[in-house]
Amino acid sequence: MQINIITIFPDLFDRVLDFGMIQQARKKDLMQVEIVDLRDFTEDKRRTVDDRPYGGGDGMVLKPEPIFLAVESLKEKAGEPQHVVLLTPQGKLFNQSLANRLSLRKNLTLICGRYEGVDQRVTDHLVDEEVSIGDFVLSGGEYAALVVVDAVSRLIPGVVAKGASVLQESFMDGLLDYPHYTRPPDFRGWQVPEVLLSGDHAEIERWRERQALELTRERRPDLLKPGKNAKDRD
């Protein structure tokens, strides 16, 4: 999978792609990430990427020309259409289902917006979908793009260790995770639940299902509404 990230802060990505699942995916050549400096697609001496909003108001708006040129150059280089995603608080909410869907694509071009705004013609005529990582406003789309890359990288076949298929269907899909424990069995007097030490795999499975269900009921009852699985819908 080829992922392109268009940003005005290319240096921000310097080390962050060299760790964990993203590093694994890149090392195994299952995912390539190219960081594209939006300023490389400006045509003036000052490398201007933004301008004042028509109609007045605070802040600056990202200009359309450099963004169109950047995406068009990526399309040309790849020799095929790109799936173009704009990271913005106005987008559809990112969730596991959307991560699964994006992970099946051959390429993804992520445009990092700025919080003041991006010229609407980018959304209307260049972008396939707008995505938000949550109901809060970041100063830009860079961290949101990293969230998307991380979530997608672990879904690419071959990235996660063999046998641990992350796309695998199970009872617990769409629920919060059950609690995990490791050694020691007694830490400062706090015991690991007896059942996990029992070796009874069927009983352990039932315990985990119960825990996942109870935790979800308590913290995220919205996930349990029929046909309203917020975690899995996109």
> Environment class of residue 27 by beta-carbon count within 10 Å: exposed (0-12), middle (13-18) or buried (19+)?
exposed
Nearest to 179, CA basis, from 193, 165, 169: 193
Among 3, 138, 156, 212, binds ligand ADE (CB under 6 A): 138
**Distance in Å, CB of 143 to ligand ADE, minimum:** 8
Question: In terms of CB distance, is 213 or 230 closer to ligand ADE?
Answer: 230
Interface with ligand ADE, residue 93, by CB under 6 A: no
Among 44, 76, 125, 136, binds ligand ADE (CB under 6 A): 136
Q: CA 73, 133, 38: angle at the middle one, nearest 5?
A: 25
**Distance in Å, CB of 188 to ligand ADE, minimum:** 39
Binding-site size for ligand ADE (CB under 6 A) equals 14
Interface with ligand ADE, residue 123, by CB under 6 A: no
Q: Which pair of structure tokens corresponds to residue 207?
A: 């315990």
35 residue type, one letter: I
Site for ligand ADE in 68-87 (CB under 6 A): 87
Nearest to 103, CA basis, from 28, 1, 26: 1
Interface with ligand ADE, residue 24, by CB under 6 A: no
**CB-CB contact of 142 with 6 (8 Å):** no
**CB-CB contact of 7 with 138 (8 Å):** no
Among 9, 115, 181, 187, binds ligand ADE (CB under 6 A): 115
> Environment class of residue 190 by beta-carbon count within 10 Å: exposed (0-12), middle (13-18) or buried (19+)?
exposed
Sign of CA dihedral 183, 184, 189, 194: positive
Say how far apart CA 205 and CA 53 lie, in whole Å: 57
Interface with ligand ADE, residue 59, by CB under 6 A: no
Among 64, 66, 113, 174, binds ligand ADE (CB under 6 A): 113
Question: In terms of CB distance, is 148 or 175 closer to ligand ADE?
Answer: 148
Interface with ligand ADE, residue 144, by CB under 6 A: yes
Sites of contact with ligand ADE (CB under 6 A): 87-89, 113, 115, 132-134, 136-138, 140-141, 144
